[in-house]
Amino acid sequence: MDSLSLFCTGALLAGGLYWFVCVLGPAEQKGKRAVDLSGGSISAEKVRDNYKQYWSFFRRPKEIETAEKVPDFVDTFYNLVTDIYEWGWGQSFHFSPSIPGKSHRDATRLHEEMAVDLIDVKPGDRILDVGCGVGGPMRAIAAHSQAKVVGITINDYQVNRARMHNKKAGLDSLCEVVCGNFLEMPFQDNSFDGAYSIEATCHAPKLEDVYAEVFRVLKPGSLYVSYEWVTTEKYRADDPEHVEVIQGIERGDALPGLRSYSDIAEAAKKVGFEVVKEKDLAKPPSLPWWTRLKMGRIAYWRNHILVIVLAAIGIAPKGTVDVHDMLFKTADYLTRGGDSGIFSPMHMILLRKPKEAPSKS
């Protein structure tokens, strides 16, 4: 091969690699790049060990049913998956119904805006994002409502990512991020004008514990809306396939255990909330939320090859391949749960703290 042909071949390969990594890589224009994948707050050489530690929780199931074990369990999970989520999914780590003629990003934003519309806040009100992740919903909600949003996440790496995104979006005056456990929030009683959680309280071992904390920090008369992950009325605990799907979702998403749709309102009432409205937003006429997972299969294989290459040459941590593989398998369980109708990630419940009720201590 002469030097010109060699040069052209090299240039073509380099251009292809750049396109593969930098153009196809980010989930969005300002998102995470494949070459920046990490283990969050975990050092690169310990990612694989932490991945094994994460799976060890499931060999001791009683430990993940206790509140004191769950924070470390969930924190480890989000250190492992945050970069991959942001790279492949975007800055909002949740689902939304498909909307004809709308992109996934637009459908996601509308789903988030609906949450803040439901709690009826005014510009300047102080509201709480319970489990804010890297802050995608927080920024959409702050921009839409002009309310001041305080987000809490247990993962310090997500706090730093969220603050960076808030500043880039010019919304850091409206968005504040705190590192903490939503089972023991560092906020005063009766200090928020409203609150919401989007597919976050599923990480709580007992739903009433996180609901009690939200109740405590809300001002009397204020509203709280939550989009809950649940098993539906179609789920059968005596069906081995149903059990396999639900356990696959739990293990791939750091869940102490999925709750039944019928348990949500009861948990809210137990801590003092009034139930204003309850509806599964995933049911018809809403279009399937899991189509995004089905449509992403080609992208997964492209991304998985890239992760393998980056790990092999030392750019990405070795354990990233294992984590990415776990998330693809989880996506299959989620799709099966959606297709069969036994699982919903958006069982909406709207709650009010009574005006005359004392705060819960």
- Which DSSP letter does residue 42 get? B
- Whether residue 245 lies inside any domain: the answer is no
- Whether residue 113 lies inside any domain: the answer is yes
- Whether residue 122 lies inside any domain: the answer is yes
pTM for the predicted model, two decimal places: 0.89
Q: What is the pLDDT of residue 66?
A: 58
- With a CB cutoff of 8 Å and minimum separation 6, the contacts of 184 are 213
pLDDT > 70? residue 227: yes
- Whether residue 280 lies inside any domain: the answer is yes
Domain that holds residue 111: 104-239+260-284+345-353
Sign of the dihedral defined by the CA atoms of residues 114, 252, 344, 200, in that order: negative
- Whether residue 312 lies inside any domain: the answer is no
- Whether residue 200 lies inside any domain: the answer is yes
Q: How confident is the model at residue 4 (pLDDT cuts 50, 70, 90)?
A: low
Q: What is the SS3 assignment for 358?
A: coil
**CA gap 147, 137 in Å, rounded:** 13
Please count the structural domains in the chain: 1
Tokens 């802050």 identify what position? 135
| Span 42-64, average pLDDT | 78
CATH number at residue 235: 3.40.50.150
- Whether residue 12 lies inside any domain: the answer is no
Q: What is the pLDDT of residue 183?
A: 95
Helix (H) or strand (E) holding 49: helix 47-56
